Structure 1
Amino acid sequence: MRAFDGGGGEGRRRDPVSGTMAERLTALLGREVRRAARAGSNHDWDIFYAELVDGTRLFVKSLSRGVPVSPVLSTEARGLDWLGQAFGSPAIEVVAWDERIVVLPWVEEREPTPRAAEWLGRQLAGMHLAGADSFGAEWPGFIGPLPVDNTPSRDWPSFYAEQRLRPFLRRAVDQGGLTPADGRIIEKVVDAVPDLAGAPEPPARVHGDLWNGNVIWRDSDAVLVDPSAHGGHREADLAMLALFGLPHLDRVRDAYNEAAPLAEGWRSRVALHQLYPLLVHVCLFGAAYRTTTLEAARAALS
């Protein structure tokens, strides 16, 4: 959501896919869409910018042509709705969705500021404290294009070990991103999760894929996009913000800690929570993330 080009200017050949998208959006929204422009693709979906006749701008994700119907985008929409039920939630609102498309408001992105970071920390704490009925969720799980097991569980250590770490560890080894020897090192972490998890906490309402790219900054606040929403451990969202270098992270964390103090020893568990998204990255992008993943595993054990 960093630039907007409505497309379709005079003398420019009309993209038939964009024209079809404008018609689809008009039917879905019940409001006339003046134009839609394809802006690229990611995984199994295409990105569009759209504009209503009143000038309202929209951001659209649609399953690509030829891709079978999948719950990946409807799950994203359901997750955003669920996160947004928490008072003051920073999750972006959903304009509309169906089995192949999700429509979001257009956001004019700004440079992050300390004030916006503090706001994000407070609102993220409130979203987490809204809680969940269990660890997991009542809808299918995805992180990016990859399915995850959201079967509800009452026990976070077993949920994290068996429904997050172990499946992606197996996949990473099977695909060759990690060697069998690497796998044995990480398996030690998986087996030790009950001992490494810290004091039990109730299920938090977590974003689940909260890296820097899923935070869109505005003038005095921010919105969160592209969740893998579920009932999880609140330290996981904060650990992932740290993984890829969120601007003003200290301000976010300090404001969060004032609103919802973190449990003793949280710093020692950052690597444990980062291991899951790193394994996902190995599955998606291969051995480029091998070294960082092994470093996280060793740090978690230490």
Structure 2
Amino acid sequence: MTVPPAAFVKQRFDAPPGFFEAAGLRWLSVPGGVTVVQPLEVSATHLATPRLETVPPTGRAADEFGRLLAVTHDAGARWYGVPPDGWQTDGYIGTIELPHSLRPLEAWGEFYANLRLRPYLRSAYDAGTIDDRRLKVFERLCAKLESGAYDDASERPSRLHGDLWSGNVVWCPDGVHLIDPAAHGGHRETDLAMLGLFGMPQLERVLRAYNEVHPLTDGWRERVDLHRLHPLLTHVVMFGAAYVPRALAVAHHY
């Protein structure tokens, strides 16, 4: 392996197909959008990207980030669940699989229930982390999603980062750079909800600037926790029962 100097290297010798996010990094890099680190070198066992210099977040950088993120989302995707161009397998979020759809899915609720909730509910149930009674609560929400209760005909699939928690937002001297995506076609509100899941500096300024470029649909703040249910369930699968009460409260609410 020849690694460029001053590079950050993600390495796994038994990496399955789709583990390294090079295709997602390239797909998210759109003209006028937020800066995304680009692969320097990629193989079956590693991904090298530039090592970033960090600075404290500022209001001005937050405003710019919000505006640019709206442009990235507006670059669009062919359908909900579509993988990045050049990617023909499921992806990964953290160390667990992230299902993609290789056939068109036009309804967000169908996509979210079947590719973002049920796979992780099944894993948690099989592991004994979620019992029958709790599973029924989540299944009621899945059925509601499939019915179209939260679909919005005015929204088309957006080009999502897919794992946009604050740790993947790097504040650099020239503005925000995004790293480590789980990129796919999805709902813009999902990325925005993820930003605040574990806390995000300057979040309100980011959201206000985003809304100036692409006005968000009325009631979007009431749907924030719905969009956070998927990452909560991935944490249930990866880290166990400590995340179940919060996920269950979300499912009860919607």
**TM-score, structure 1 as length reference:** 0.77
1:186 aligns to 2:171 (yes or no): no
Check 1:143–1:86 CA distance in 2 against 1; reply closer, same or farther (3 A cut): farther
Instruction: Give 1:72 shift.
Output: 3.5
Please tell me the residue identity of whatever aligns with 1:177. Answer: T
Tell me how far apart the structure 1 counterparts of residues 144 and 194 of structure 2 sit (CA, whole Å): 20
Whether the 8 Å contact between 2:19 and 2:92 is mirrored in structure 1 is no
Structure 2 match to 1:203 = 157
Instruction: Give 1:119 shift.
Output: 1.2
> Which residue of the other structure, out of 18, 25, 28, is the alignment partner of 1:72?
18
Tell me how far apart the structure 2 counterparts of residues 296 and 117 of structure 1 sit (CA, whole Å): 28
Structure 2 match to 1:260 = 214
Whether the 8 Å contact between 1:116 and 1:219 is mirrored in structure 2 is no
| 1:262 alignment partner, SS class | coil
Equivalent residue runs for 1:11-160 within 5 Å? 24-25=1-2, 52=5, 57-64=6-13, 67=14, 69-74=15-20, 76-138=21-83, 139=87, 140=89, 141-152=91-102, 153-160=105-112
Whether the 8 Å contact between 2:82 and 2:184 is mirrored in structure 1 is yes
Tell me how far apart the structure 2 counterparts of residues 131 and 175 of structure 1 sit (CA, whole Å): 36
Deviations 1:109-136 (A, max 9, x none): 2211111111111111000000011112
Structure 2 match to 1:39 = none
Whether the 8 Å contact between 1:120 and 1:221 is mirrored in structure 2 is yes
Calculate percent identity across the aligned residue pairs.
43
Question: Which range moved further: 255-264 or 184-193?
Answer: 184-193
Instruction: Give 1:200 shift.
Output: 4.4
Whether the 8 Å contact between 1:72 and 1:145 is mirrored in structure 2 is no
Please tell me the residue identity of whatever aligns with 1:217. Answer: W
Please tell me the residue identity of whatever aligns with 2:101. Answer: T
| 1:202 alignment partner, SS class | coil
Q: CA RMSD in A?
A: 1.6
Of structures 1 and 2, the one with the larger relative CO (CA 8 A, separation 6+) is 2
Structure 2 unpaired stretches of 5+: none
Question: Would you say how many aligned residue pairs link Structure 1 and Structure 2?
Answer: 245
Which protein has the larger Cα radius of gyration, Structure 1 or Structure 2? 1
Structure 2 match to 1:164 = 116
Please tell me the residue identity of whatever aligns with 1:285. Answer: F
| 1:168 alignment partner, SS class | helix
Whether the 8 Å contact between 2:80 and 2:184 is mirrored in structure 1 is yes
1:285 aligns to 2:239 (yes or no): yes
Structure 2 match to 1:6 = none
| 1:25 alignment partner, SS class | coil
Instruction: Give 1:148 shift.
Output: 2.1
Please tell me the residue identity of whatever aligns with 2:161. Answer: H
Whether the 8 Å contact between 1:242 and 1:249 is mirrored in structure 2 is yes
Whether the 8 Å contact between 2:61 and 2:176 is mirrored in structure 1 is yes
Question: Which range moved further: 105-114 or 277-286?
Answer: 105-114
> Which residue of the other structure, out of 184, 203, 206, is the alignment partner of 1:249?
203
Whether the 8 Å contact between 1:165 and 1:279 is mirrored in structure 2 is yes
> Which residue of the other structure, out of 216, 221, 246, is the alignment partner of 2:170?
216
Tell me how far apart the structure 2 counterparts of residues 272 and 130 of structure 1 sit (CA, whole Å): 24
